[in-house]
Chain A
């Protein structure tokens, strides 16, 4: 994993996520499609770079996002992305990292991240929405969109951001 390049690209993605993406979503869907592009990059790091870089990467970008849009509290994304980056790295080390497995990681990880953040806001009494509503309203569409994005950038990430020597070892035919 070329970690410096990944960090630069993720910074750019974070800015795109907050400054460009809101314009592409039709008004009726702005509350439902809130993808976390930096989190997708964390999952890439966990798959190609290992669990410890993924943990630090998720922690750093999560905290950055928390600080940038500091409404009530700092920390939910720092915690969620750090934890899930580590867990995804752990899972990726157990199995061979195929595309199908990556799809699973993006879907489950995305849903879990939003769930963790929801639970934190519930814990502090900052939201009173029910989980089933949040899941239907925001988590499910967001997760699908994140999956779409992850599949779109899968090939470029693999080609430009993963060191050739490392990826050739994992590049098993499926």
Chain B
């Protein structure tokens, strides 16, 4: 009797290790998984959004005193924005003219023309080692694996699995350098795009991002805004990641590392944007 139990436990262990190993690097979902995801995802959305709205309402009540200050700040930003808009239009026209003259192909011209799809969050996981959220856009809406996810504040994550009506998003807090599933994000500094470069990783214990492999002569300084550089072809370029907190010499003394405070909050998310990079149809 005892042997039989042990035997079954062993078989179960082997089956599960095989299952975990098999599902470890997989990107596609089979139809039962898609069905379960879509069915439960829809119901989750029914709960998550109203509860989120109520919770946000109460939090907003607490912040009512800050609204005046925030309004002032926004007004200044808008004034700044109108000036920038004029400059931007001129530069864009100029850029287009130059691209015409240099015979850019249609693909090269469209490369930076990102589309943003708005998505509602319908659920978050309770698994502490895989920080994932669920959004209510799926393959039907043109979402594909490895697309970047942002909020209005900055980069949040990357699409990990897609089913027909919902998708699972891996937060960048899950992209740890030391984990086998980690994924480095190449980053640069806003305003110093050509001179600055580093790799972003997440440090689980401190809850902050870390930018490593920064060159000694790099002009990166405290309070600089860090954005994605678009090198490496996973993340589109120009998405805000965070601000530089401090900079110090790295582990081996050859390169520098910087601690970065993420711009986006990763909890209590309600609306996110899926960044769609235009289709690259052949070279």
Asked if A pairs with B, the answer is yes
**Residues of chain A whose beta carbon lies under 8 Å from any beta carbon of chain B:** 14-24, 27, 30-31, 34-36, 64-65, 67-79, 82-83, 114, 117-118, 120-121, 124-129, 133-134, 138
Given contacts A19-B47, A68-B40, A73-B20, contact A126 B132 (CB under 8 A): no
- The 9 A-B pairs with the shortest beta carbon distances in the complex, nearest first, are A71-B130, A69-B125, A19-B48, A19-B47, A30-B267, A125-B180, A18-B123, A23-B55, A128-B178
Q: Which residues of B contact A27 (CB under 8 A)?
A: 265, 267-268
**Complex Cα gap A15–B51 (Å):** 12
* B24 and A70 form a contact (CB under 8 A): no
User: For chain A, what secondary structure do more than half of its interface residues adopt (helix, strand, loop), or is it mixed?
Assistant: helix
* Most chain A beta-carbon neighbours within 10 Å: one of B16, B132, B170: B16
**Complex Cα gap A27–B41 (Å):** 23
Question: Does B141 have its Cβ within 8 Å of any Cβ on chain A?
Answer: no
Interface membership of chain B positions 9-50, coded 1 if the CB is closer than 8 angstroms to chain A and 0 otherwise = 100110010011101100001000100110011011101100
Given contacts A20-B51, A70-B168, A117-B127, contact A79 B23 (CB under 8 A): no
* A79 and B43 form a contact (CB under 8 A): no
**Minimum CB–CB distance for B49 against chain A, Å:** 9
Q: Which residues of A contact B23 (CB under 8 A)?
A: 70, 73-75
Given contacts A27-B268, A126-B180, contact A71 B131 (CB under 8 A): yes
Interface membership of chain B positions 166-200, coded 1 if the CB is closer than 8 angstroms to chain A and 0 otherwise = 00101000101011110000000000000000000
**Complex Cα gap A69–B19 (Å):** 16
Q: CB < 8 Å: which of B134, B180, B267 contacts A69?
A: B134
- The interface on chain B, measured as residues whose beta carbon lies within 8 A of the other chain's beta carbons, has a size of 52
Q: Which residues of B contact A126 (CB under 8 A)?
A: 129-130, 179-181
Q: Which of B143-185 contact A (CB under 8 A)?
A: 160-161, 168, 170, 174, 176, 178-181
Give 4 new A-B contacts, CB below 8 A, not counting A71-B125, A124-B21: A17-B126, A21-B126, A64-B36, A129-B205
27 contacts between A and B (CB under 8 A): A18-B125, A19-B45, A19-B47, A20-B48, A23-B52, A30-B267, A31-B128, A64-B36, A67-B36, A67-B37, A68-B37, A70-B23, A71-B160, A71-B168, A73-B21, A73-B24, A74-B19, A75-B19, A75-B20, A75-B23, A78-B19, A117-B128, A124-B180, A125-B180, A126-B130, A127-B129, A129-B204
